[in-house]
Amino acid sequence: MLILRGTIRLPEFTAEVDVTAPISGIVGLFGPSGHGKTTLLRMAAGLERGHDAYVEYDGEVWQDDANGIFVPPHRRHLGFVFQDARLFPHLTAGGNLDYAARRAKSGRADLTQDQVIEILDLGPLLHRRVQDLSGGETQRVAIGRALVSRPRLLLMDEPLSALDLRRKMEILPYIERLRDEMDLPVLYVTHSLDELSRLADHVLLIRDGSVVAEGAVPEVMQRMDLGPMLGRFEAGVIVEGPIVAHDPAYAMTDLAIGDQILRMPGIDAELGTIVRIRIRARDVSIAIEQPAGLSIRNALRTRITEIFEEDGAFAEVLMDLEGTGLRSRITRESVDRLGLEPGMPVFALIKSSAVDRRLIPGGGKRSRDNKDGVIPNT
- The 10 Å Cβ neighbour count of residue 363 is 16
Could you tell me if residue 14 is inside a domain? yes
The secondary structure of residue 364, as a DSSP letter, is -
Judgement on whether residues 181 and 313 belong to the same structural domain of the protein: no
Q: Nearest CA to 147 among 106, 190, 100?
A: 100
End-to-end CA distance of the chain: 41
Cα angle value 112/113/115 (rounded, 5°): 65
Judgement on whether residues 60 and 99 belong to the same structural domain of the protein: yes
pLDDT digits (tens, 9 = 90+) for 337-354: 999 999 999 999 999 888
Report helix angle 135-148 to 165-181, nearest 10: 20
CA 46 to each of CA 66, 84, 233, 262: distance values in angstroms, whole numbers, following the listed order: 15, 19, 37, 46
Could you tell me if residue 64 is inside a domain? yes
Query: Among 29-33, 53-57, 170-174, 232-236, where is mean pLDDT lowest?
Result: 232-236
Alpha helices in the chain (DSSP H): 37-45, 73-76, 93-102, 113-119, 135-148, 165-181, 193-199, 217-221, 227-230, 332-338
Judgement on whether residues 118 and 255 belong to the same structural domain of the protein: no
Could you tell me if residue 312 is inside a domain? yes
Judgement on whether residues 240 and 201 belong to the same structural domain of the protein: no
pLDDT digits (tens, 9 = 90+) for 269-291: 899 988 888 888 899 999 999 99
Note down the domain range covering 277. 236-359
Could you tell me if residue 329 is inside a domain? yes
- CATH number of the domain within which 300 lies: 2.40.50.100
Judgement on whether residues 64 and 176 belong to the same structural domain of the protein: yes
Q: What is the pTM of this model?
A: 0.78
pLDDT digits (tens, 9 = 90+) for 112-137: 889 889 889 999 999 999 999 998 89
- CATH number of the domain within which 176 lies: 3.40.50.300
Could you tell me if residue 374 is inside a domain? no
pLDDT digits (tens, 9 = 90+) for 74-109: 888 899 998 887 899 999 999 999 999 888 875 455
Rg (CA), the chain: 23
CA 82 to each of CA 12, 43, 153: distance values in angstroms, whole numbers, following the listed order: 23, 14, 14
Number of domains making up the chain: 2
Residue 14's pLDDT is 82
Residue 9's pLDDT is 79
Could you tell me if residue 367 is inside a domain? no
Residue 277's pLDDT is 86
Please say if the pLDDT value at position 69 is more than 90: yes
- The 10 Å Cβ neighbour count of residue 13 is 14
Cα angle value 306/309/315 (rounded, 5°): 85
pLDDT digits (tens, 9 = 90+) for 131-158: 999 988 999 999 999 999 888 899 999 9
Judgement on whether residues 190 and 244 belong to the same structural domain of the protein: no
Separation of alpha carbons 113 and 117, rounded Å: 6
**For residue 364, what pLDDT band results from cuts at 50, 70 and 90?**
very low
Residue 301's pLDDT is 96
